[in-house]
Amino acid sequence: MFAANNLAAHTMYRYYGRSLPVMNFTTDALRWLNNNQSAADSANFMASVKFEGIDLDLTSPGTPWIYYGGSYAGARAAHMRVLYPELTFGAIASSAVTHAATVWWEYHEVIRRSAPPDCSLQIEHTIAFVDRILALPPLKKPLKRLFGLEDLEHDDDFASVLESAFGGWQARNWDPAVSSTRFEDFCAALAGNGDGGDDDDDDENYFTSGVTTTTTVGPFELPAAALNYAKYIRRRVAKSCPEGYSVEECFGTYDDSKYTDVSVAATWRLWLWQVCDQWAYFFVSPPDPNQRRIISHHITLDYARKICKQAYKPGTHYTLPEWPKVDEVNSLGDFTLEADRLAFIDGTADPWMPATPHSWYAPNRTDTTNQPFKWIQGTFSA
């Protein structure tokens, strides 16, 4: 019995790994990078593979294959049981995003709900403060200066940099040997228990232009966590901008020329293509203005999806749809996808959980021997 793991899910089909059938990553060249084509590549691999040094016929269906994957590859594992049940004897779908969605604010909502309550509240208060200050043009630049981003022109780019502090959440794992403590470090920094890195800057000198206190900015009281958040971004993120590059060059997203590289070395174009063509998952602020949030309301759908038009110009044979074709993914079962010998395993603190069959939008189902449905409390990814 053989398992196709998460890595194999990326090397068993075209465009990823060494399976490169194109000379560049233009729009026309990427038009075959989609869910059905990728599943067909996996099926072809399972039905025809030959292992060097092994004379036995280990292909499917003569040999039972179990397909395993996590996250995007978890969805592929589940889809293989639907599309190729004769080849995929069983599948283990971990954090399987069987639901594709255009507006995707739930990712950060899981973090908000699952993070230590004090940390979540500190983030919420800071973001609320930032949004209030960004509404006052005279105070925008002093605010950005506090975060080390004074020359970042666009407010949504600034808000996006602040969002980057949550990148460590998805890197958490049950195994300390491979887990990341970046999010814990961030929370410690917000509470004043971490230094965030080397920095000789004096916080008290950051708000100038008539603002002479670090307790208030204009008519607003400055949350203590905001200074610590600013220090973290200044030291851990802003300082990562290489010498000789401006803040705008490092963190700005409005220069279309940044996205013109279509060489096969530009591997960032691959998953982004799948996002723009089918899967979406545009991270945005909650659409309900009364919803508690840990990312700025400046992170809008228009901002999140503009890179699709910037990076993928219309080709001769294919043009990206105006909106990702999420129905092509969801038609395979969406939240209710199920099959015999298909196991779904998810964690309650996984930010991708709302896109899985364990989502709070999904109907309840029973965990059975033939259709395992495992819900692991407090885990970050299954």
Identify the three-state secondary structure at position 15. coil
The one catalytic residue among 285, 350, 359, 381: 350
Determine the Cα–Cα distance for residues 82 and 73; give it in Å rounded to an integer.
Answer: 14
The one catalytic residue among 42, 71, 120, 296: 71
Q: Of 285, 286, 248, nearest to 157 (Cα)?
A: 248
Two tokens at 120? 């979540």
Q: Does 71 participate in catalysis according to the annotation?
A: yes
Identify the three-state secondary structure at position 93. strand
- Range 105-109, long-range pairs (CB < 8 A, 24+ positions): 105/283, 105/284, 105/285, 105/286, 105/287, 105/291, 106/354, 106/355, 107/281, 107/283, 107/351, 107/352, 107/354, 108/163, 108/166, 108/283, 108/293, 108/294, 108/295, 108/351, 109/286, 109/354
Chain centroid to Cα 217, Å, comes to 33
Q: Does 38 participate in catalysis according to the annotation?
A: no
Only one residue has tokens 């283990």, namely 92
DSSP code string of 221-271:
E--HHHHHHHHHIIIIIGGGSPTT--HHHHH----GGGG---STT-THHHH
User: Phi/psi of residue 253, each to 5°?
Assistant: -125, 10
Q: Of 55, 89, 91, 62, nearest to 76 (Cα)?
A: 91
- What is the rounded (10 degree) CA torsion for 226, 217, 132, 135? -130
Identify the three-state secondary structure at position 197. coil
Query: Where do the DSSP E strands lie in 2-82?
Result: 2-4, 65-70
Only one residue has tokens 């196991």, namely 343
> 66 pairs with which residues across the strands?
3, 90
CB atoms within 10 A of CB 287: 11
Question: For residue 375, what is the DSSP state?
Answer: E
Residues with a known catalytic role:
71, 350
